[in-house]
Structure 1
């Protein structure tokens, strides 16, 4: 496997949580990291901005470029990706990490909220990948990696929050398509999903609160798996819907206790869409 030294990685939603962890993991391998997110100024409840993460990236050994990006704005997406490519001389990897969550059924979901879920999840994967494509074609080790689940059509995953599920599955289906479509350009396309709950602000505020957080893992497990994927060639890995723990087990990791969010004896909660 290679390292990411001098590779340019563009990460959406990188100001906190899994995106931030991936940014730092890439930085530790000497990557140029583009921190693209809406968080330009501090949020009253949520830690981290693109600027604080940029500072952390530099301290970790990487080059950093913080860019304000709303992934719903296709013109801004193209502008920011071109800006990043011109700054670092290209783009080698796109991480579609930005996400929106609302675990509600059809009856009680505002259509405007569904529009948001669709735009931030499914549409952004298409728009960001399309904008990055001209640059990825020029890279010798091009990757697109989206944070979305394997397709599990068990009705239980649709029963309570079908709208959210449909947008996350759309991310995966678009990625499966791109893996085939972009193979001729030498661009690897995969998805990554956690085996267990990842304890982030999204879980704390949108899903289960502190009690659920105690039964999850830190974002670092997703970051380590993402970096592993980026270090594989297209011949080794493309068109796959990967699970973080499986990726790391293939790398020889056997002890996952260090990834626990809290040291306790509570059983870890499996993430959505995994039986």
Structure 2
């Protein structure tokens, strides 16, 4: 516990899903949190709000602040890090988690959808990293974690779910592949200055509150599902250690480092990296359409 005592972390896409779970786990380790989402209120059919995320962390004894920002808008995000630091001071950790997918076959996905995904999934993380880096370099310490996706790699044939499911995610995966390449280059540029930059993707479907259709996939293929605690523990490892340019997958990273998995409040050891996901638990469904 208290591995992040005295540290300030900004997490995008933090009103729900993986982003919120990371915020809860980081707060349990003593971090001061800046939670970023595109709006304060509800987000259509998706559960969770920025207000409830902040309030939940505060009720648990943590410190959290909200910043609203539409990350797909370059002008809106141009001063995001400065706005956050005016509230809480220098930033130690940046987690670029917000992402969005517009599904379409590679032969048909529109230019507008491709531009939107590239703006949110690639340009926004780059912009925020560039905004955060001067302060991190000046202090000689900092962590930047970009959340990627297994869709950055073409699925093996035969496809586990369906050919269409494998094809329609290609454009989204291309933005994540670009983010991985950028992560590696930036990591090697700044490692000598004490700034540690890495990428992390879930090994499989991460089960967090969200859409029923993804839980159905997990039921058909249980080995394709992992608990959100596995993903979050891997993120914590990369935001506390000295890793350079890792393009990491959650379970493999934890297993290679012999890292146990804990509850989001840090109080209970749940198991090791290979712990099975509880597919039908109330807390375990997911939605990857948008984590903005």
TM-score by length of 2: 0.79
Aligned-pair CA distance for 1:255: 5.9
Q: For residues 49-128 of structure 1, what are the structure 2 equivalents within 5 Å?
A: 49-128=49-128
Instruction: Give the corresponding residue for 1:270.
Output: none
Aligned-pair CA distance for 1:258: 6.0
1:251 aligns with 2:258: yes
Distance change in 2, residues 1:148/1:2 (3 Å): same
Q: For residues 95-174 of structure 1, what are the structure 2 equivalents within 5 Å?
A: 95-149=95-149, 152=153, 160-174=168-182
1:17 and 1:201 in contact (8 A); partners too: yes
Higher relative CO (CA 8 A, sep ≥ 6), structure 1 or 2?
2
1:260 aligns with 2:249: no
CA RMSD of aligned residues (A): 2.7
1:195 and 1:244 in contact (8 A); partners too: yes
The separation in 2 between residues aligned to 1:51 and 1:251, in whole angstroms, is 36
Instruction: Give the corresponding residue for 1:212.
Output: 217
Give unpaired runs (5+ residues) of structure 2. Answer: 160-165, 261-271, 282-292
What is the SS of the residue equivalent to 1:10?
strand
Instruction: Give the corresponding residue for 1:269.
Output: none
Instruction: Give the corresponding residue for 2:230.
Output: 221
Which moves more between the two structures, 46-55 or 100-109?
100-109
1:220 and 1:259 in contact (8 A); partners too: no
Instruction: Give the corresponding residue for 2:197.
Output: 189
Aligned-pair CA distance for 1:83: 1.9
Which moves more between the two structures, 239-248 or 11-20?
239-248
Distance change in 2, residues 1:135/1:46 (3 Å): same
The separation in 2 between residues aligned to 1:107 and 1:174, in whole angstroms, is 25
2:69 and 2:77 in contact (8 A); partners too: yes
1:39 and 1:50 in contact (8 A); partners too: yes
Aligned-pair CA distance for 1:257: 3.2
Give CA-to-partner distance per residue, 1:217-250, whole Å, 9 cap, x none.
33222111111211113xxx11111111123221
Aligned-pair CA distance for 1:79: 2.3
1:12 aligns with 2:12: yes
1:21 aligns with 2:21: yes
Instruction: Give the corresponding residue for 2:162.
Output: none
